[in-house]
């Protein structure tokens, strides 16, 4: 059961695994025929089933192609559905989930984005049993850690974790009963350490120039700039920030104005380096591409010329 680029390596590994005798795929209903899981399954001759919209309550799992038996195990990877207890119980070995965080940290729909947003230097994958009543709260069967380079953006980290998750999934399934016994003894999740990673919404992408550091805004860009670019308000309209300079690159630049001479949110055009500088709570942030509301992407130079930016006379809100 899966739906996206994070799911695909797990399906590919399962399809190539000699211990898997029969494999079928369940995907959410979608008009998007480019769904990578669905596309791979069809091209590989793997039967594809479409889940009902919104909920699996009352839904029964497919019968194997020979029509004689239920499947042994459900594997859930970035599926977006809660599996009811009766559905989990219909599989002889229950259901397992590949989750891209070191649970119980970052339970929820967007663990990769929240790891980047918070500037974490380490993350990982967890292979867990599906919990019958709560999201991402099942017993941990296996975990593997991954360092997060400071240069990582969402797509880079997602692909690394997808590959790591696929490897750990197959290793778990090869020795499933042994992993379950260890989980029963020692790897029940510690609720006191649990944190949430809710879905990224537009409200999370709003920049507060007064309170946010330049690293925090840059981390917003790393985490969800591909789907929900950080945005601010200028002249009464939203402006999305499409390309942001790594703050470390500004530290060595010459000719930047003294930051203490400007209030938070002030913007000026830096002609030498062709960027708009925006004043965060702790210093300048360089912006190279901006997207004003109802307009196309604009380079920093075009934005400065179009809005006639003058030193200290314009402010992002």
Edge-to-edge strand list for the sheet holding 140-147: 74-77, 95-99, 122-129, 140-147
Domain 8-193 -> CATH class: alpha beta
Q: Which two tokens stand for residue 121?
A: 């230097």
Token pair 């860009």 is found at 221
The ranges assigned to domains in the chain are 8-193, 202-315
- Residue 112 DSSP label: H
What does the pLDDT profile of the chain (317 residues) look like in tens digits? 677 899 999 999 999 998 888 999 999 887 566 789 999 999 999 999 989 988 898 888 877 666 666 788 999 999 888 899 999 999 988 999 999 999 999 999 999 999 999 999 999 999 999 998 899 999 999 999 999 999 899 999 999 999 999 999 999 998 887 777 666 666 788 999 999 999 999 999 999 999 999 999 999 999 999 999 999 999 999 999 999 999 999 987 877 888 898 999 999 999 889 999 999 999 999 999 999 999 999 999 999 999 888 666 788 87
The owner of tokens 């994958």 is: 125
Domain 202-315 - what CATH class? alpha beta
Q: Which residues contact 22 (CB under 8 A, 6 or more apart)?
A: 64, 65, 71
- Nearest 5°: the CA angle 107, 109, 115 is 65
Q: Give the predicted TM-score (pTM) of the model.
A: 0.92
pLDDT on residue 184? 64
DSSP state of 127: E
């Amino acid at each position: 059961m899966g739906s996206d680029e994070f799911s695909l390596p797990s399906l590919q590994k399962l399809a190539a695994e000699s211990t898997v005798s029969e494999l079928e795929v369940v995907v959410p209903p979608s008009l998007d025929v480019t769904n990578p899981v669905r596309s791979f399954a069809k091209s590989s001759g793997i039967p594809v089933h479409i889940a009902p919209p919104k909920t699996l309550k009352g839904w029964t799992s497919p019968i194997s192609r020979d029509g004689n038996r239920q499947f042994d195990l459900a594997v859930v990877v970035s599926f977006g559905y809660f599996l009811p207890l009766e559905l989990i119980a219909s599989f002889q070995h229950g259901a397992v989930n590949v989750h891209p965080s070191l649970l119980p940290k970052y339970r929820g729909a967007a663990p990769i984005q929240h790891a980047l947003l918070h500037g974490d230097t380490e993350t990982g994958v967890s292979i867990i049993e599906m919990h019958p009543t709560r999201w991402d709260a099942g017993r941990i069967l296996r975990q593997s850690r991954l360092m997060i380079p400071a240069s990582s953006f969402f797509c880079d980290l997602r692909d690394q974790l997808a590959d790591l998750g696929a490897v750990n999934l197959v290793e778990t399934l090869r020795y499933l009963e042994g992993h379950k016994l260890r989980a029963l003894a020692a790897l029940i999740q510690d609720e006191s350490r649990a944190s949430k990673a809710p879905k990224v919404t537009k409200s999370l992408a709003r920049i507060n120039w007064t309170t946010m550091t330049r690293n925090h805004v840059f981390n917003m860009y790393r985490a969800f700039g591909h789907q929900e670019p950080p945005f601010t308000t200028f002249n009464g309209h939203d402006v999305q920030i499409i390309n942001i300079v790594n703050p470390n690159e500004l530290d060595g630049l010459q000719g930047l104005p003294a930051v203490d001479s400007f209030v938070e949110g002030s913007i000026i055009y830096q002609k030498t380096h062709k960027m708009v500088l925006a004043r965060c709570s702790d210093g300048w942030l360089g912006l190279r591409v901006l997207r004003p509301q109802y307009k196309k992407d604009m380079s920093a130079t075009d934005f400065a010329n179009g809005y006639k930016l003058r030193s200290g006379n314009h402010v992002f809100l």
